Amino acid sequence: MDAQKLVEKLDKSVLEETPTAAEAAPAVSEERFEEIVTEALDGVDGTMLFKMRIDAEGDAEHVAAASVGNGDTRHFLILSLPVAGGQLRVEQAANSKSPVAGIAASYAGLAEALATAA
């Protein structure tokens, strides 16, 4: 599946899962963020590689890196959600300006090497 189509499919699947800021959503916990990301990735057979919270310039957000597909069809995605609540944002790691995007593919390679060595 094309990377852009994956992003669009994920965007559609999370519309019902994440409240908009206008709905005055409560703060999103790390556990809830993980649930949202896992549910979204299940719809495209994706795997969350890692997640973290980034606090930059007073704006805190949860960020996760994910892998979808295998081999030549493998794509890396960045999923982010403000801690204050809002809409889950999904973007291709290759097009993302997030500092997390640069480490997604490296992390996946490291995880695979460790799994093979174990």
- CA-nearest of 7, 6, 28 to 17 is 28
**For residues 89 and 17, is the Cβ–Cβ distance under 8 A?**
no
Q: Which two tokens stand for residue 111?
A: 């995880």
pTM of this structure: 0.76
Q: Looking at this protein, which amino acid is placed at residue 36?
A: I
Question: What's the farthest any 2 CA atoms get from each other in the chain?
Answer: 48
Give pLDDT tens digits along the chain (118 positions): 566 666 667 666 655 455 554 455 678 999 999 999 999 999 899 999 999 999 977 789 999 999 998 888 889 999 999 999 999 999 999 899 888 888 887 877 777 778 788 7
